[in-house]
Amino acid sequence: MRLSCQCHAQIFLILRRRGAPSRRTHGQFCSNNVGAILYILHCSDGSYYAGTTRDSLGKRVSEHQAGTHGGYTAYRRSVKLVFQQAFDHIEDAIAAERQIKGWRREKKEALIRGDFAALSLLASRAERAEIESSPK
């Protein structure tokens, strides 16, 4: 999946709004000249797995496909790469990964589709629910 600069900027803004990455890359995705890549895999059971790598994204996806490292995806093969985002710094990629892992399925799917209107709506719903459920 290759993202346009405009799409890339919108993802960055959405992630940054929640306090995640402070920098983004403007170059090609999947190259080794970036600090790290955040990726999302669609697993055979229909679930999503978010991860980061500093290595080649193709190599990392192949490792998931082969079950090389065990863990979550080893029992949910085959996997398909459905989203990727490059970051200048590994810390930013990890922060974004942690943020996305906390999202509901609908919000992850909106990000994968590039549906930023839905992503914003889902974010505002979560904020409203938090406000309504907080003790007074």
pLDDT tens column, 45-75: 999 999 999 999 999 999 999 999 889 999 9
Cβ burial, residue 118 (10 Å; 0-12/13-18/19+):
middle
Q: How far is CA 37 from the centre of its chain?
A: 9
Model pTM? Answer: 0.71
pLDDT tens column, 97-125: 999 999 999 999 999 999 988 888 888 76
Q: Which domains does the chain have, with CATH numbers?
A: 5-104 (3.40.1440)
- Cα dist from 98 to 10, 63, 95, 134, 136, whole Å: 19, 21, 5, 23, 29
Whether the Cβ atoms of residue 73 and residue 79 lie closer than 8 Å to each other: yes
